[in-house]
Amino acid sequence: MSSVPTYTLNNGVKIPAIGLGGAAGRDEKEKEKARVWFLTALQAGYRHIDVAQIYGTEEALGKAIRESGVPREEIFITTKLPPSHHTRVAESFQESLDNLGLDYVDLYLIHFPFGLAYEKGVNFPTNPDGTPKVVDSPTFVETWADVEKLLDTGKVRAIGVSNFSVKNLEILLKSAKVVPTANQVELHPYLAQSDLVEYSKSKGIVTTAYTPTGYQTVLSDPTIAELADKYGVSPAQIVLAWHVARGVVAVPKSSNKERQKQNIALPTLEPSDVARISSLDKGERVCNKPDADGKFFGITKEQLGW
């Protein structure tokens, strides 16, 4: 069992390969409870935590950090720009810092490549017919230019994107002054995203896996179960070890002390086992799936490059 490795981003900033996922669902009480499991994670040795303004857990994370006594500079914190805040990047970034009660974050991501209309206090504004209020402007290229400007504030150490495909990274890279350091996407053995991982590596972009366990859909796969027996670990440890073997960052969420500990104690997989797990790929999304109309957040699969 080895400790969590650290990768170096394209600007020299170091990121621990495993971070704690910080989404707590939509229930307000669950968001408040997050303070407790952020704290147990920090006590267990996590030094990377992934939140987003739309998760509503930034405040809980700030409290847990202060309560933990772990020096701020030892912790890598990611947060994200809400899809409905693309017209107000600087303001939204400052709101996140205020929620966290911190004076800088380590990584700031555009949460989603496409924007929604801004409505104060509403994460996902909808039209009267219930469809998302998608807006054409600004484009993600324009939003990225505003995110780049945040680097001048000295309040963010690295910037990146989330939910970008090869298609949209290619568009972004044509005009970006700063190459994103990271791209956070759904990634697990049933959605191995090998083309995206390889393309990103070739451009110096680290890929971060969200929904890295693939939930029970992946954890109950017979090959994963067989490898868990072989290495004497849990199925989740096998899947997380596979991410690390591929040079991918993973942000598993667990509110359970024991599973938090498991997720940062990973075996080193033999290359043939890494390849076996990669071959389970079926291009299957288990978290962010398109609706029956083939759209996600009102955006077509073609626009998303899915």
Ligand X SMILES: NC(=O)c1ccc[n+]([C@@H]2O[C@H](COP(=O)([O-])OP(=O)(O)OC[C@H]3O[C@@H](n4cnc5c(N)ncnc54)[C@H](OP(=O)(O)O)[C@@H]3O)[C@@H](O)[C@H]2O)c1
> Which residues are known binding-site members for substrate?
111
Is 104 assigned a catalytic role? no
> Nearest approach, Cβ of 1 to ligand X (angstroms)?
14
Q: Which of 55, 118, 190, 210 is catalytic?
A: 55
Contact 167, 200 (CB under 8 A): no
All residues at 6 or more sequence positions from 284 whose CB lies less than 8 Å from its CB, including other chains: 190, 191, 217
Buried b / exposed e over 63-101, threshold 16 CB at 10 Å, is bbbeebebeeeebbbbbbbbbbbbbebeebbeebbebbe
Among 53, 143, 165, 184, binds ligand X (CB under 6 A): 184
| Phi and psi, residue 143, nearest 5° | -65, -40
> Nearest approach, Cβ of 288 to ligand X (angstroms)?
6
CB atoms within 10 A of CB 2: 10
All residues at 6 or more sequence positions from 195 whose CB lies less than 8 Å from its CB, including other chains: 166
| Stretch of 8-16, 175-183, 259-267, 295-303 contacting ligand X, by CB under 6 A | 259-267
Question: HSE on the CB side for 284, CA within 13 Å?
Answer: 12
Position 123 contacts ligand X (CB under 6 A): no
> Nearest approach, Cβ of 264 to ligand X (angstroms)?
10
| Stretch of 87-95, 153-161, 167-175, 208-216 contacting ligand X, by CB under 6 A | 208-216
DSSP 73-90: GG-EEEEEE-GGGTT-HH
Position 57 contacts ligand X (CB under 6 A): no
Q: Which residues between 155 and 174 bind ligand X (CB under 6 A)?
A: 162-163
Query: Is the Cβ of residue 246 or residue 253 nearer to ligand X in the bound state?
Result: 253
| Stretch of 117-125, 255-263, 265-273, 275-283 contacting ligand X, by CB under 6 A | 255-263
> Nearest approach, Cβ of 35 to ligand X (angstroms)?
15
**Closest among 153, 61, 141, 56 to 103, alpha carbons compared:** 153
Q: Which residue is nearest to ligand X (CB)?
A: 21
20-39 footprint of ligand X as x/- string (CB under 6 A)? -xxx----------------
Among 287, 294, 300, 302, binds ligand X (CB under 6 A): 287
Query: Known binding site: residues?
Result: 111
Position 50 contacts ligand X (CB under 6 A): yes
Measured CA distances, 203 to 146, 152, 214 (Å): 21, 23, 26
Contact 93, 110 (CB under 8 A): no
Question: Which spans of this chain sit near ligand X (rule: CB under 6 A)?
Answer: 21-23, 50, 111, 162-163, 184, 210-213, 215, 234, 236, 251-256, 259, 262-263, 287
Q: Could you list the active site residues? A: 55
